[in-house]
A = this chain, B = another copy of it.
Amino acid sequence: MDKKTELISPDLKEMAQLAKALSHPVRLYIVMSLAHMNSCCYSGDLAEEIGVGRSTLSQHLKELKFAGLIQGEIEAPYIRYCLNRDNWQKARQLFNNLFAEKNNL
Report copies per complex: 2
Are the CB atoms of B19 and A23 closer together than 8 Å? yes
Interface footprint category on A: 35 or more
A38 part of interface (Cβ distance < 8 Å): yes
Are the CB atoms of A26 and B8 closer together than 8 Å? yes
Bound form: Cα–Cα A31–B35 in Å: 26
A66 part of interface (Cβ distance < 8 Å): no
Given contacts A23-B23, A50-B4, contact A36 B99 (CB under 8 A): no
Smallest Cβ distance from A88 to chain B, in angstroms? 8
Are the CB atoms of A25 and B3 closer together than 8 Å? no
Q: List 22 A-B contacts (CB under 8 A).
A: A3-B49, A3-B50, A4-B51, A12-B25, A12-B28, A15-B22, A15-B28, A16-B22, A16-B23, A16-B24, A16-B25, A16-B28, A17-B23, A19-B19, A19-B20, A20-B23, A32-B98, A36-B100, A36-B102, A38-B103, A38-B105, A95-B99
